[in-house]
Amino acid sequence: MNSPSIHVRAFITWLAIFPLVSLGFVTIVPAMGNSHPLLKVFVLTLVVVPLAVYVVVPNLMKAYQRLFAKK
């Protein structure tokens, strides 16, 4: 099967990033208290980006491939 279009990949990436950032925003950021906002963003992205790149996006891509595989 051909790889998905850039639009599908962008949507899958957003589908991975949005919940991770939302979860981080309600858990990690408040736990950091009065830290500088840039430090909060740094820590949040330090957690979210590797999770998205190595875990969530590949699994979503596999699910997409299974769902739309030509039979």
Per-domain residue ranges for the chain?
6-67
List, for residues 33-71, the tens digit of each pLDDT value: 999 999 999 999 999 999 999 999 999 999 999 998 865
How far is 51 from 19, CA to CA, in rounded Å?
11
pLDDT in tens, 2-39: 789 999 999 999 999 999 999 999 999 999 999 999 99
pLDDT of residue 2: 79
48: phi then psi, degrees, rounded to nearest 5: -70, -45
